[in-house]
A = this chain, B = another copy of it.
């Protein structure tokens, strides 16, 4: 399965590429924005495409052709200004979904954030009010995906940390805020790609007690 990873140079993206590379079932294609990022991946033997998410949808469609699935993990993580959040987390994500449809790629996995689906509820998590643009951008991107007709999975991890993965997770619709290593998010993404019962599902994800594969299968 050829998997286009949008945001391949991001912190989660790099883990996803590594895990797809060592898997026997997948061939990752790293979609990146900068020439130096492209060269880095090519040196590692990873296929690449150079596309700016702020450019024409046509370029994303071109990149998506010949692929079987898209993983969208580009974005600011709430740590850049509202401008980048608007153009990447919201507009870039939705342009990628439109491109998937035009390219005939059904499978689409997006990395969201814990609790995002509750953005318009009064009891949404407190962190959202500290990054309201990010919350709004992710909220609308996730909603678009749910209504896109694509075979989606929406993964909403808790606080991302760089510790080595534990391989153990907790999944749910309404988890308490807790952290999770980026590596475990990447492993969860790859597991979701391999288990079609995750199609049409959205879930919060934190570190927990369940083996990733087992958790994903039980969704």
Contact = CB atoms under 8 A, between A and B. Distances in A.
A83 B133 contact: yes
A198 to B, nearest CB: 26
**Copies of this protein, total:** 2
A21 B86 CA distance: 37
A171 to B, nearest CB: 28
Given A82-B83, A133-B87, A120 B98 contact: yes
Contact of A136 (B57, B81, B90): B90
A56 B95 CA distance: 29
Interface of A: 54, 56-58, 81-83, 85-87, 90-91, 94-95, 98, 120, 122, 132-133, 136-137, 140
11 contacts: A57-B120, A58-B122, A81-B81, A82-B133, A85-B86, A86-B132, A86-B137, A87-B133, A87-B136, A91-B136, A140-B140
